[in-house]
Amino acid sequence: MKKIETKVIPVLDMSCVVCANSVEKTVRGLSGVEQATVNFAANTLSVTYCPDEITLQAMQKAVQTAGFDLVIEEEDPVAIQEEKARERYQRLKRNTIGAWLLAVPLAVLGMAFMNASWANWIMMGLAFAIMLLFGRSFYTNGFRNALTGKANMDTLVALSTSIAFLFSLFNTLFPEFWLARGLEPHVYYEASGVIIAFILLGKLLEERAKNSTSSAIRGLMGLQPKTARLVKGGKEIEVPIAALRVGNMVSVRPGEKIPIDGTLIQGYSSVDESMLSGEPIPVEKNKGDRVLAGTINQTGAFTMKVTGVGSATMLAQIVRMVQEAQGSKAPVQRVVDKISSIFVPTVVLLSIITFVCWLVIGGTSYFSYALLSAVSVLVIACPCALGLATPTALMVGIGKGAERHILIKDAFALENLCRVDTVVLDKTGTLTEGVPVVTDVCWVKEETESIRDILFTAEQKSEHPLASAIIRWLEERGAKNCPIDRFESLTGRGVQVQLQENSYWVGSQNLLETFQAEIPVSVQKSIEQWQQEGRSVVFYGREQQLLAVLAVSDRIKPTSAVAVQALKKLGITVHLLTGDGQRTAEQVAATLGIDSFQAEVMPSDKENYIVALQQAGKRVAMVGDGINDSQALARADVSVAMGKGTDIAMDVAMVTLITSDLLLLPDAIRLSKQTVRLIRQNLFWAFVYNLIGIPLAAGAFFPMNGLLLNPMWASAAMAFSSVSVVTNSLRLKFMK
């Protein structure tokens, strides 16, 4: 089986969504690349590839050939990208200021002295200076794309401004050509110069707004300190985080952020883990306990042994998950990408058609109108607004979720979460604390040390959440491991061990009935009372003989009932699935106000329950935290894992609630609704802008009211269309 890796790589030098499509196609076409997705809003490439077949260096070389670049340094690629982004922003700022300093007098001359021949030469100089000094990148990028048979936003800008400038230059040098034909030799230097100034201003504002969409990632990355105190030879040396290696000893003082993942080897303290877990109460840490990068040491000083560096830390994994989610594409975005890929050639064709139509209708006397309209069509068309509509909203939505301790795996999950009309909840660890305790025990046979030890050994090998409660209870009574001949896990029912000639079993009433063990009448009364109180009942026996019955209680989380009611207010039907007995399920369902529930379910039963709901036309979200939930999670339309659950549940899940607080689920659904609403708004206005703007620029309204759009105002409209889409997405940051 070949090795597959997924990485999120910063991309440099993209100027529009067409550039993003070009990078994506280039990487996707390389041998060894399984999947590639470029997010223009985040300037990132999410690539799944086989490292045995292709290297990151080979990808970078291919992207460089296409005119762009990747940041593949392992040390800190995001920091390098941010530094490049800062440099780009400062360069863009200088060019914008410089262009406007020349564009303002250029526009004044064009409006106030349009008939003065001497003004033409000054305007020509000003326009040429703007194009050469501040808009040079449009022409170099446009020319480079033309050589490779590609076209992007730079192509439209370069074409429109060059046509306006060259036509004006011809009229300045050879005015008699038009005068001999009875026409006025108009010049449009101000159009070529002001177009560049407006577009640079739009790009500057767009860049600034785009930077705000990734603030969640920067906030997460900012949790980790840049340096740590390495303990070496009895001395403390301050070193960069990147210099640390697994096994190093690091000293942490009170009030400091913990620099890296590790294990306490000396000292003790309490640690504020709220920034990662959301739990407000500090966690006591003693020798052997795990501590995480970015959390805050509060009271004591300690020495820790490094267990995870770089991408292996918990914080880095969360950052990577958010980055991958922000870089993913919603299904609707793929349709937009197809439109964007043919957008520029289509606009160029429309511009030519506009020019020809004007000449056919009005002849040479309409040449100026034809030229202005053709230039306006090139300028006003904006693929960037379409390209930014979806990713900017997704970036803000997924980032806001991360800040609220909701990790959303990809855009598909965020887009589909709002469509859910049915939520299926596992009980243990989802609705309850997941830390059960043994409350009552009824011994049917005499309690002996050997019987306790066998039960202790069997439960230590069990993965069921109730097993930990029984283990803790037995440890308090001095139980210890004993040798056994065979162990078998009976999924959904319990466990069975073989010792010499006897089979011992621990599990549910279903397992009791399998072994046909009888329950004494006196014990049955206790069982009924425990079940009525909502406690879980565990049976322990040998062959066909019942040895003991244990009552285990798992306290319902304080917020579970509120979360269920919040889901109902959103119009969502709530179901409960549990492996516990019928009476326990009834008690929990009644307490939480859940009408539909099913007890004594096995993992396959949970999956079948999901399938039945889907066949009834329901869109189902499954919420769970254990291995036994993984089948149902994989089957559901949207899968949600509790952050304190098993790794396999979180791997399968599309959404992870880090704090394991079910109240985050209605928050996540509301966030999904808000994000999808913004995406629809953005796409609507982006399409409407182009549907109205292009005909307006072409002069479609000229026969009715004499309205003809000046290319300068067309460029302003184009520049601010992208800014408006990004700004609309940023509104999500301030929504509840």
Which residues belong to the active site? Answer: 426
Token duo for residue 734: 């301030």
Q: Which secondary-structure segment (H or E) carries 27?
A: helix 17-28
Give the number of other CB atoms < 10 A from CB of residue 671: 24
Which residue is listed with tokens 């001999």? 180
What are the distances in angstroms from CA 135 to CA 66, 308, 537? 21, 47, 76
Burial class (CB in 10 A: 0-12, 13-18, 19+), 86: exposed
d(CA 349, CA 700): 16
Going by C-beta distance under 8 Å and a sequence separation of 6 or more, which residues neighbour residue 691? none
Taking a C-beta distance cutoff of 8 angstroms, is the pair 452, 474 a contact?
yes
Query: CA 453, 555, 534: angle at the middle one, nearest 5?
Result: 85
Helices (H) and strands (E) in the chain, counts: 27, 26
H helix intervals, 282-410: 314-327, 331-362, 367-380, 383-403
Taking a C-beta distance cutoff of 8 angstroms, is the pair 378, 351 a contact?
yes
The pairing of strands 620-624 and 638-642 is parallel
d(CA 560, CA 433): 10
Burial class (CB in 10 A: 0-12, 13-18, 19+), 440: middle
Helix (H, G, I), strand (E, B) or coil at 615: helix
- Give the distance, in angstroms, between the CA of residue 541 and the centroid of all CA atoms in the same chain: 49
Query: What's the full length of the chain, in residues?
Result: 736
Task: Calculate the CA dihedral of residues 675, 680, 685, 690 and round it to 10 degrees.
Answer: 120
DSSP 733: G
Q: Which secondary-structure segment (H or E) carries 415?
A: helix 411-417
Taking a C-beta distance cutoff of 8 angstroms, is the pair 124, 169 a contact?
yes
Give the number of other CB atoms < 10 A from CB of residue 291: 23
Taking a C-beta distance cutoff of 8 angstroms, is the pair 557, 625 a contact?
no
What are the distances in angstroms from CA 154 to CA 161, 180, 351, 468? 11, 36, 16, 63
Residue 225's nearest CA partner among 178, 284, 292, 277 is: 292
Kindly tell me the sign of the dihedral angle through the C-alpha atoms of 624, 630, 635, 639: positive
d(CA 716, CA 195): 7
H helix intervals, 214-259: 215-221
Query: CA 426, 430, 435: angle at the middle one, nearest 5?
Result: 115
What are the distances in angstroms from CA 178 to CA 134, 182, 352, 365, 367? 32, 6, 22, 10, 10
**Position 338, amino acid:** K
The phi, psi pair for 534, rounded to 5°, reads 85, 15
DSSP 241: G
DSSP 432: B
d(CA 684, CA 691): 10
Residue 175's nearest CA partner among 125, 115, 127, 106 is: 115
d(CA 649, CA 643): 9
Residue 258's nearest CA partner among 291, 287, 210, 220 is: 291
Going by C-beta distance under 8 Å and a sequence separation of 6 or more, which residues neighbour residue 101? none
